[in-house]
A and B are shown apart, each in its own frame.
Chain A
Amino acid sequence: MVRTLLVRGLLTGLLAGLIAGGFAFVVGEPHVDSAIALEEAAAAKAGTGAGTGTGESAGHDQAAGHDHTAGSGEAGGHSHGDEATVSRPVQKAGLFLATGLYGLAVGGVFALVFAGLRGRVGPRSDGRLAVAAAGAAFTAVVLVPFLKYPANPPAVGDPETINGRTLLYVVIVLVGLAATAIAVATARRVTSPDPWVRGVAATGAFLVPVIAAWVLLPAVNEVPDGFPAALLWEFRIASLGTQLVFWAAFGVLFGWAGDRAAARHPLTTPGSPASAPLPSSSGSSS
């Protein structure tokens, strides 16, 4: 059963990732291109010596071996300032690789968490639980981080501070996940028959740590002077939209697949193989 859920999460995650990649390609890539154009214009104006780019990567750490790039790498080193080893068209194809693999990994983790929640927390149908959990995951992993550290296009952000910013990003993601877990635990702990009481308690248990993290974690503002505000806004909305498309598609696909499987094997229990829908308890030890 766990294996079925994991495979379902991997496949629907991959599919949802590719769908989100399609959205990002259509809606987001124009803004990425605009931002890269600004970045290159700024670099050109700064007058950096572009000629020293290509030869650097030849000799590091490969002391013992012959150079493994079959000679094509640095032979044609035109001094065009191309420190990018991957061209823009390949990067745009890499967008789908990135969102697809992201969906695969996230979908797999989601499925295993889902396997633990199932029958313990939340709605009783697989479909409803999937949609609810995907909504919660979007809030925890996307919305909470985005409102503190929103997505940035190329040209925004100092490369010197990338490690610190990545660490802060991981921290705020963990805060979102922990706050969600606290909210679920609170909703289970509060035994009031009034759903409003449980709802307010769970919402409060979620918001207190999240708002504390928003206030206490250091701010990051590395938007260069003169960067167009409209472009920044459009890019950030496209980024948020990419994640929204991913989680919406994933929740629907994963839930739909779960309900279809449940409809096909209505008597399947976790303890018995899916192909044996026998209600009798013969042979079901342990």
Chain B
Amino acid sequence: MSGTSTPSAATTAIPFPRLRPWLVLAVPVLLLVAYLVLMDNGTVSQTGALLHELMHDGRHLLGVPCH
């Protein structure tokens, strides 16, 4: 990373209207993935304890309440 303070284009803010569709579309999908990995015990996935069992060690070691 260059320590100089030359105003590169990287400092230009992205306008919020350009950002909004990504936030609206992508964030719910990503949060759903995180929920399925970290917390689902069959309520959403409808696979019973399968996700719980498969993600079991990851849930424990990522620090999420598992069982």
Which residues of chain B are near A238, meaning CB under 8 Å?
Answer: 61
Min Cβ gap A285→B in Å is: 14
| Interface set, chain A 211-263, CB cutoff 8 A to B | 235, 238-240, 242-243, 255, 258-259, 262-263
A145 to B50, CA, bound (A): 26
A109 to B23, CA, bound (A): 8
Q: How many A-B residue pairs have CB under 8 A?
A: 183
A98 touches B12 (CB 8 A): no
Interface flag for A152 (CB, 8 Å):
yes
B65 touches A157 (CB 8 A): yes
A119 touches B63 (CB 8 A): no
Given contacts A90-B54, A94-B57, A112-B23, A258 and B65 within 8 Å (CB-CB): no
Given contacts A105-B31, A116-B19, A84 and B61 within 8 Å (CB-CB): no
A142 to B48, CA, bound (A): 28
Given contacts A6-B26, A108-B26, A101 and B33 within 8 Å (CB-CB): yes
Contact-size category for B: 35 or more
Binding site of A, secondary structure by majority: helix, strand, loop or mixed? helix
A153 to B54, CA, bound (A): 16
| Interface set, chain A 78-121, CB cutoff 8 A to B | 84-86, 90-92, 94-99, 101-102, 104-106, 108-109, 112, 115-116, 118-120
B22 touches A95 (CB 8 A): no
Which residues of chain B are near A104, meaning CB under 8 Å?
Answer: 30, 33
Which residues of chain A are near B44, meaning CB under 8 Å?
Answer: none
Q: Which residue of B lies closest to A220 (CB)?
A: B65
Given contacts A85-B50, A91-B53, A94-B58, A169 and B64 within 8 Å (CB-CB): yes
State which of A95, A152, A267 has its C-beta within 8 Å of the C-beta of B57: A95
Min Cβ gap B25→A in Å is: 10
B62 touches A98 (CB 8 A): yes
Given A112-B23, A255-B1, 19 more pairs with CB closer than 8 A: A24-B61, A29-B57, A85-B49, A91-B53, A94-B54, A97-B58, A102-B62, A112-B19, A124-B5, A128-B1, A142-B63, A151-B62, A153-B60, A154-B60, A166-B65, A243-B62, A243-B63, A269-B9, A270-B15
B-side residues, CB < 8 A to A, are 1-2, 5, 7-16, 18-19, 22-23, 26-27, 30-31, 33-34, 37-39, 41, 48-50, 53-67
